């Protein structure tokens, strides 16, 4: 008997922080743990090497006439800092109420285990299930999947044989309402460094003759938004695809209580681009955010220096059809044009990912050549969710990014069915991340029904 909760506790103990070179042991442990699970279910498991963290490739073959689903997940997690804000240590899984707390519980260890548990249940019931399944579980998602595009290119011929991709790495708005995600924001990230004098200077002996790099950085960053909440970079919005009326209508069905959302975030007021509710802004609009800033003395008390340099970590969330490389160029060009001439600038490139959109069957803008297996998966999801959760799913774009979904589409032609399982209160990427165990159980049951329905038809 496969107990997903016990497995999840074991899985979380492996501190698989992909960006932290000192967490190699946790990465290896998490990888071997998942490989062992899938091997136990009869999958042929391989750890396919990449430039950094191997991809787990687990295969259940079968007759070429059987439908073929690729299930995607990732075994790496975000860093856990600031550690002092965790109620219990991030890598010591703890159950409080119906929640399991730990780094990676919701992103993506719990949702991946819900998928594996569904497959385990199906194969237990019918070991001859006419469905080919390929698990692809990568270890670099939280770094922006730098090795995954090359991996896709290398194995594109094998992957093109599949019919569609299924994954649970997106969100539910609340415990009652399932969402099938039909779009994801892309992103592009870089660091901006502003450099003044060649060393830190005493602010008394030298203060008043030069522009402080922190001042220059603040002056640059302050130009990047308009007062009404848009990104103030020429050309930034040029390629933004207008949202379809059915998408706005679908989101309206979700309702959403703006006051409750503001309270949940703990903010004084929303600040959205004109013409968009907070819920629309997240899904349909791009952003420019400062993820970090630093420079000079940050300790207790005072140190009266003029620092030599200061930096900001900048990211843009992008919507279809913005191009990450183009947007990065535009933002950097705006910064160069606006920066004072008396400081030097350096840019450090970080990762990027395309936005993605898939249209479910039967919509005004559904592509006429949509894969019949993909369409069956969407319809099966509709029926299974209605049965298990008591109401049909909503088909919405998401604010988050899973950049490899667009990469998969570009390289292999495969579209994705994104069946979300984490909740806003799960605290992804933040202290006290947790996963709702009721959602895990119902999710697993639903996924088993979807895969059974996909298996019940031919290609």
State which of positions 192-221 bind a copy of itself (CB under 8 A).
196-212, 214-215, 217-221
Site string for a copy of itself, 17-46 (x = CB under 8 A): --x---------------------------
Q: Residue 275: count other Cβ atoms within 10 Å of its Cβ.
A: 10
Per DSSP, helices labelled H in 202-277 are 213-221, 245-254, 258-265
**Minimum distance, C-beta of residue 305 to a copy of itself, in the bound complex (Å):** 6
**Minimum distance, C-beta of residue 252 to a copy of itself, in the bound complex (Å):** 17
Q: Are 189 and 144 in contact (CB under 8 A)?
A: yes
Range 249-288, binding a copy of itself (CB under 8 A): 261, 265-273, 276, 278, 281-282, 285-287
Q: Which is nearer to a copy of itself, 40 or 424 (CB)?
A: 424
Lookup: tokens for 106: 């919701």
Cα distance between residue 114 and residue 102, in whole Å? 16
**Minimum distance, C-beta of residue 133 to a copy of itself, in the bound complex (Å):** 28
**Minimum distance, C-beta of residue 112 to a copy of itself, in the bound complex (Å):** 18
Q: Which is nearer to a copy of itself, 301 or 390 (CB)?
A: 301
Lookup: tokens for 34: 């998942």
* Three-class secondary structure of residue 383 per DSSP: helix
Q: Measured between alpha carbons, how far is residue 141 from residues 72, 172, 303, 371 in Å? A: 11, 20, 39, 27
**Minimum distance, C-beta of residue 275 to a copy of itself, in the bound complex (Å):** 13
**Minimum distance, C-beta of residue 127 to a copy of itself, in the bound complex (Å):** 39
Is position 312 an interface residue for a copy of itself (rule: CB under 8 A)?
Answer: yes
**Minimum distance, C-beta of residue 113 to a copy of itself, in the bound complex (Å):** 21
* Three-class secondary structure of residue 404 per DSSP: helix
How far from each other are the two terminal CA atoms of the chain, in whole angstroms? 31
Range 226-245, binding a copy of itself (CB under 8 A): 229
Site string for a copy of itself, 154-173 (x = CB under 8 A): -----------------x--
Of 249, 217, 204, 456, nearest in space to 363 by CA:
249
Cis peptide before 154 (omega within 30 of 0): no
Q: Binding residue for a copy of itself (CB under 8 A) from 260, 342, 369, 390?
A: 342
Lookup: tokens for 18: 């992909």
Q: Which is nearer to a copy of itself, 217 or 448 (CB)?
A: 217
Q: Residue 171: count other Cβ atoms within 10 Å of its Cβ.
A: 21
Cα distance between residue 336 and residue 216, in whole Å? 12
Q: Are 138 and 75 in contact (CB under 8 A)?
A: yes
Range 64-93, binding a copy of itself (CB under 8 A): 78-79, 85
Q: What number of CA atoms fall less than 13 Å from residue 430's CA on the CB side?
A: 9
Q: Which is nearer to a copy of itself, 143 or 417 (CB)?
A: 143
Is position 336 an interface residue for a copy of itself (rule: CB under 8 A)?
Answer: no
Cα distance between residue 40 and residue 58, in whole Å? 11
Of the candidate spans 244-252, 368-376, 398-406, 407-415, the one that interacts with a copy of itself by CB under 8 A turns out to be: 398-406
Q: Binding residue for a copy of itself (CB under 8 A) from 430, 438, 456, 458?
A: 430
The set of residues, in sequence order, having a beta carbon less than 8 Å from that of 321 and lying 6+ positions away, is 239, 240, 241, 355
Cis peptide before 82 (omega within 30 of 0): yes
Of 187, 86, 123, 193, nearest in space to 398 by CA:
187
Backbone angles phi, psi at 78, to 5 degrees: -70, 160
**Minimum distance, C-beta of residue 129 to a copy of itself, in the bound complex (Å):** 35
Range 103-142, binding a copy of itself (CB under 8 A): none
**Minimum distance, C-beta of residue 272 to a copy of itself, in the bound complex (Å):** 6
Range 292-311, binding a copy of itself (CB under 8 A): 292-307, 310-311
**Minimum distance, C-beta of residue 119 to a copy of itself, in the bound complex (Å):** 27
Is position 52 an interface residue for a copy of itself (rule: CB under 8 A)?
Answer: no
**Minimum distance, C-beta of residue 409 to a copy of itself, in the bound complex (Å):** 18
Of the candidate spans 42-50, 160-168, 429-437, 440-448, the one that interacts with a copy of itself by CB under 8 A turns out to be: 429-437
Q: Residue 29: count other Cβ atoms within 10 Å of its Cβ.
A: 18
Of the candidate spans 89-97, 157-165, 382-390, 395-403, the one that interacts with a copy of itself by CB under 8 A turns out to be: 395-403
């Amino acid at each position: 008997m496969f107990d997903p909760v016990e497995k999840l506790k074991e899985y979380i103990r492996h501190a698989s922080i992909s960006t932290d070179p000192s967490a190699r042991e946790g990465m290896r442990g998490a990888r071997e743990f998942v490989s062992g699970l899938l091997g136990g279910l009869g999958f042929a498991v391989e750890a396919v090497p990449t430039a950094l963290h191997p991809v787990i490739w687990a295969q259940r073959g079968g007759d070429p006439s059987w439908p073929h689903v690729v299930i995607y997940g990732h075994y790496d997690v975000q860093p856990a800092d600031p550690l002092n804000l965790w109620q219990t240590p991030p890598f010591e899984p703890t159950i409080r109420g119906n929640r399991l707390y730990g780094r990676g519980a919701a992103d993506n260890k719990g949702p991946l285990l819900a998928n594996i548990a569904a497959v385990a249940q199906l194969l237990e019931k019918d070991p001859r299930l006419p469905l080919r399944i390929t698990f692809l579980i990568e270890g670099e998602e939280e770094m922006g999947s730098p090795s995954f595009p090359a991996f896709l290119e290398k194995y594109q011929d094998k992957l093109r044989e599949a019919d569609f991709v299924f994954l649970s790495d997106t969100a539910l708005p609340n415990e009652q309402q399932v969402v099938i995600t039909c779009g994801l924001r892309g992103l592009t990230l870089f660091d901006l460094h502003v450099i003044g004098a060649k060393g830190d200077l005493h602010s008394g002996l030298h203060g008043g003759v030069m522009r402080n790099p922190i001042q220059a950085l603040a002056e640059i960053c302050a130009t990047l938004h308009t007062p009404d909440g848009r990104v103030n970079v020429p050309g930034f919005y040029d390629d933004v695809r207008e949202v379809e009326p059915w998408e706005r209508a679908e989101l309206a069905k979700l309702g959403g209580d703006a006051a409750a959302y503001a309270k949940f975030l703990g903010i004084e007021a929303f600040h959205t681009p004109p013409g968009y509710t907070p819920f629309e802004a997240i899904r349909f609009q791009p952003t420019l955010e400062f993820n970090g800033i630093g420079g000079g003395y940050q300790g207790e008390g005072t140190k009266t220096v003029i620092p030599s340099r200061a930096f900001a970590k900048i990211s843009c969330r992008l919507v279809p059809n913005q191009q990450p490389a183009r947007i990065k160029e535009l933002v950097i060009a705006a910064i160069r044009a606006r920066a004072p001439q008396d400081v030097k600038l350096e840019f450090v490139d970080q990762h990027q990912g395309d936005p993605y959109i898939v249209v479910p069957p039967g919509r005004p803008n559904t592509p006429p050549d949509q894969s019949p297996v993909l369409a069956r998966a969407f319809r099966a999801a509709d029926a299974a969710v209605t049965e298990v959760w008591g109401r049909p799913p909503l088909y919405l774009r998401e604010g988050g990014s899973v950049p490899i979904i667009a990469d998969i589409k570009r390289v292999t032609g495969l579209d994705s069915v994104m069946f979300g399982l984490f909740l806003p209160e799960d605290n992804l990427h933040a202290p006290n991340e947790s996963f709702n165990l009721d959602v895990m159980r119902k999710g697993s049951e639903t996924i088993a029904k979807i895969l059974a329905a996909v298996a019940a038809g031919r290609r």
